[in-house]
A = this chain, B = another copy of it.
Amino acid sequence: MVLALKKTGSRRATQRISPRKSPHQARSRDTVDAILRATARILVKHGYEGTTTNRVAEVAGVSVGSLYQYFPGKEALVAALVERHQAEMLEALKPDPAMLGLPLDELVPRLCEAMLRAHAVNPALDSVLYEVAPRLGKPPTVLRDTGVALVKAILEIHGPKLRPLDPDLTAFMVVKTVEGLCHEATLSRPELLKDPRFLDEMSELLLRYVRPG
């Protein structure tokens, strides 16, 4: 007879995702920093499964204990990295307010370029995080609701000069197209991220999509 146990699914069903403490003192901040940096390196090199808390701690030059002082587990660790990485990308994407006044023909390439630049910083890390994010309950994409909202706003501003379109759906299309392309390029042809022809085509794709006619 086999007593069936409640299966727990993944290794730790009740894994807390949120960090444990926020680092106050400079020492702590350094520790957390080193840990996240190490996580990124290992994640890129060994993938999620190959990323172990011990290895991270070792590479970070701290003890496992310290790691667990700030992160309740592996998931939280990676989640924090995702968070941080996305924040950095968003930072890199923050649109110059002046830019928004530009005609679409100039605005779109600029935004695309920002996007590509953001992805070109660390494509390898990008890939892994993109792959890993869903498991952490995080949407993998950088441009989330904010991005869609921004695009929708732009579409509405330029509405009169565009073909008739549903701003919500179109914004979704635009954002996801860009992100999809960036991601696909990152995965299969990272050199494209810096190739001006790729930028041109992407802009062309989007502009033609919304232009009247």
Seen from chain A, the residues whose Cβ lies within 8 Å of a Cβ on chain B are: 1-3, 5, 7-11, 16, 18-22, 24, 45-52, 55, 72, 127, 131-132, 134-135, 139-141, 166, 169-170, 172-173, 176-177, 179-181, 183-185, 187-189, 197-198, 201-202, 204-205, 208-209, 211, 213
Bound CA span A157–B208, Å: 22
Asked if B184 and A181 make an inter-chain contact with CB atoms under 8 angstroms apart, the answer reads: no
Bound CA span A198–B166, Å: 11
Q: Are A134 and B134 also in contact (CB < 8 A) when A50-B9, A184-B176 are?
A: no
Partner of A140, one of B55, B187, B211: B187
Bound CA span A203–B188, Å: 24
Q: Are A8 and B50 also in contact (CB < 8 A) when A131-B134, A181-B176, A184-B179 are?
A: yes
